[in-house]
Amino acid sequence: MILKLFFKIYKLPTQGRQDFKPLNLWDGSVMKKEIITNSPDETKLFAQKFADQLKPGAILALTGNLGSGKTCFAKGIIEELTGTKENFQGSPTFALIQEYKALQDASGTVVRVYHFDFYRVKNAVELFQIGWQEYISDETGVCIIEWADLFPEILPAETKWIKFISEGNDKRRIVIRERAEDGK
Ligand SMILES: Nc1ncnc2c1ncn2[C@@H]1O[C@H](COP(=O)(O)OP(=O)(O)O)[C@@H](O)[C@H]1O
Ligand SMILES: [Mg+2]
């Protein structure tokens, strides 16, 4: 079974960045929210509010061009969930994953935040080798994945897709889509 899965993933085409075409990931029953921010601080503030609504086990897939604000948003989420501005490590471009210990809360305890960046990942196998399956199935963690649309096939259906669009200078459009039943 595991071997079968491995071969299935191994056979997935390597998606080079040059030939990358965004997939239509958002067919089906989805809820859509859209906001505009006009500064990095506004994006972070929005991320902090968004983080307050998150439940343990949430998976956030961040998409959009370089400089569109994915890391800025991730920073806001991580600062809110960890309760400190001190230990954000930046985008895990080379490390592939950065792990944080989050604050506990009364409703459900988020104990870890996993920050991924797929930008330099050549094949999904690399992700499985660093323990993707365990991270993604950690029901007490929150996963944040930059450039998630490079390997959409390894993301579960309940993923919240958050797209960042630069609209000149400091203006960013942020579009959130998730399965309707998850958008409580
Ligand atoms: N409204 C905004 N939201 C987020 N970032 C913004 C905004 N306006 C300008 N910026 C700038 O855009 C850049 C976003 O960078 P970053 O978050 O690293 O993007 P990405 O991770 O998508 O490549 C930063 O230099 C930030 O200061
Ligand atoms: Mg980034």
Query: What are the domain boundaries of the chain?
Result: 35-136+145-172
- Domain 35-136+145-172 in this protein, CATH class: alpha beta
Please give the radius of gyration of the chain, using alpha carbons only, rounded to the nearest integer. 16
Distance (angstroms) between ligand 2 centre and the Cα of 76 equals 13
* Ligand 1, atom 3, residue with closest C-alpha: 40
Residues 6+ apart with CB under 8 A from 73: 43, 44, 46, 47, 62, 162, 164, 174
Record the pTM.
Answer: 0.84
Residue 38 token pair:
């006009």
39 ligand 1 Cβ < 6 A: yes
Distance (angstroms) between ligand 2 centre and the Cα of 93 equals 8
List, for residues 9-66, the tens digit of each pLDDT value.
554 444 444 444 444 555 555 778 999 999 999 999 999 999 999 988 999 999 999 9
64 ligand 1 Cβ < 6 A: yes
- Indicate if the alpha-carbon torsion angle 93, 136, 77, 61 is positive or negative: positive
Closest of 32, 57, 50, 51 to residue 180, by C-alpha: 32
Q: What is the mean pLDDT of residues 139-153?
A: 95
